[in-house]
Structure 1
Amino acid sequence: MTTIAGSVALVTGGRRGLGKAFVDELLVRGAKKVYATARKPAPSDDERVEALALDVTDDASVAALAERVRDVDVIFNNAGVLYPAPLLTGDLQQVKDMFDTNVYGPLRIAKAFAPILADNGGGALVDIHSLLSWGAGGGAYGATKAALWSLTNSLRIELAGQNTQVVGVHLGFADTDMVAALPVEKISAADAARIVLDGVERGDSEVLVDDVTREIKAALAGPVEGLTVPINR
């Protein structure tokens, strides 16, 4: 389990949407400092928040951040992109770009910051997945989230020896700009962040944020035809 009060956290993609909600909830729970990254960072009115530039697809950018930020003990791999890219008819470059951001980006962060977490006592690494990690219908985006889920499960084993809590977060649709146009039931970003932080502090390895995610995970024991994600609820 990880105590948020007094911690130093890093949230990638932390200046909008779900990332901003994580930043806000970390502050509510008494985090001492939160680094909130973006490709184009904007300053915060809260002195506990330091906005930093980061491109998770750029090795040098990730390395520069790790060199600068040495006091982190909680990391949220939240940065991600969603392009309308069906597997067969979508732009292959967009597919590659999503994998670079959504899969290799979190891996770059994990590799760069694992030694820092170890030096600071272990801490926690939180990866943001999706119900599309298990459910069909998300095209290339869903494929990236399935890959990230697998990556997280392997990182949990590799980081166990340094006492790092690795948390995989699955949720359906948080009410953010990324899915604003989808006609689906959505949970507020603030509620999602609260549920995730509850899980982190309990010591959970996996957090299922909402009912639709729990339904899809339960369907894994059944036929694959039952794994289609319902988007009109």
Structure 2
Amino acid sequence: MELNNAVAVVTGANRGLGRQIAEQLLRRGAKVYAGARRPETVDLPGAVPLRLDLTDPASVRAAAAAAPDATLLVNNAGISTHTPLVAGDPDRIRLEMDTHFFGTLRVTRAFTPVIEGNGGGSILNVLSVLSWFHPAALGAYSAGKAAAWALTNSIREELEPRGIRVSALHVGYMDTDMAAHIDADQKISPAAVAALALDGLEKATPEILADEVTRQVKQGLGVVTG
């Protein structure tokens, strides 16, 4: 996808990776709607703040109506409640699924006709190495990201005939607020991840693997041990 003159909607664009993606899209010549639950927290010069809470259907519908020229959707917004699946609070588990799976689907369904009506374009879903690797302490997050990976693969096939390419971004530990509690030597900067993601979008790469940890885990999928 040519990003110069693209019209992008980026969810969770007020901080972290979402802000970096939005900022770098602007540098590459795109118009950017910066989605956030509180649009007043968007401080990115040149971006159009957009109220968007992906867990609220009315907010999603209003956002799609407010960005009628969109050709690119970046489903970046996410949370991590650090909740295990058996012992964890069911409401927190439900929140993770409503954010990562149902929220991503809700926003995609709202913006698909917009992108198609503008001649087609692309969708980028921000996923995780935990789409494939599922530690117990992050059971809810891992389940949500695994479900979002399945969603991504399904809609890629569904939307291709409608002129919409779908890519997934998988990344391990980034130096963001969400991973601040993790002591890891292999954290990658969100600026570097954003650059890799946008390069992958321009090449229509189906799965963009942002770091060595992610590449190693993906390579090990399907390997039977024991």
Whether TM-score is above 0.5 comes out as yes
Name the CA distance, whole Å, in 1 between partners of 2:96 and 2:29: 33
| Alpha-carbon separation, structure 2, partners of 1:135 and 1:99 | 17
Structure 2 residue 191 is the aligned partner of structure 1 residue 196: no
> CA distance change for structure 1 residues 79 and 43 in 2, over 3 Å: closer, same or farther?
closer
Say whether 1:154 aligns with 2:154: yes
Q: Which amino acid aligns with 1:205?
A: P
1:27 paired residue number: 26
* Matches of 2:131 and 2:27, distance apart in 1: 30
Q: Unaligned 5+ residue runs, structure 1? A: 226-233
The structure-2 alpha-carbon separation of the partners of 1:224 and 1:132, relative to structure 1 and needing over 3 Å to count, comes to farther
Structure 2 spans left out of the alignment, 5+ residues: none
For residues 74-85 of structure 1, the aligned pairs below 5 Å read: 74-85=72-83
CA distance in 1, matches of 2:177, 2:43: 20
Percentage of identical aligned residues: 43
Match of 1:109 in 2: 107
Counterpart of 2:50 (choices 37, 49, 52) is 52
Offset of residue 61 of structure 1: 0.6
Query: Which AA in structure 2 matches 1:6?
Result: N
SS at match of 2:133: coil
Give the alignment's TM-score, normalised by structure 2. 0.95
Contact 1:175 1:189 in 2 (8 A): yes
Q: Post-superposition shift, 1:224?
A: 6.4
Change (3 A) 1:199 1:90: same
Distance 1:195 1:91 in 2: 36
Contact 1:44 1:50 in 2 (8 A): no
Q: Does structure 2 retain, via aligned residues, the 8 Å contact 1:98–1:144?
A: yes
Residue 3 of structure 2 is matched in structure 1 by 4
Q: Secondary structure at the match of 2:106?
A: helix
Offset from partner CA, 1:93-143 (integer Å, 9 cap, x none): 100001011111110011111111111111000001100101121311001
Moved segments of 4+, more than 3 Å: none
CA RMSD of aligned residues (A): 1.2
Q: How many residues are matched?
A: 222
The CA deviation at 1:223 is 2.4
1:99 to 97, 104, 117: 97
Give the Å deviation of 1:29: 1.1
- Report the alpha carbon displacement of residue 39 of structure 1 after superposing the two structures with TM: 0.9
2:167 corresponding residue in structure 1: 167
Secondary structure in 2 aligned to 1:20?
A: helix
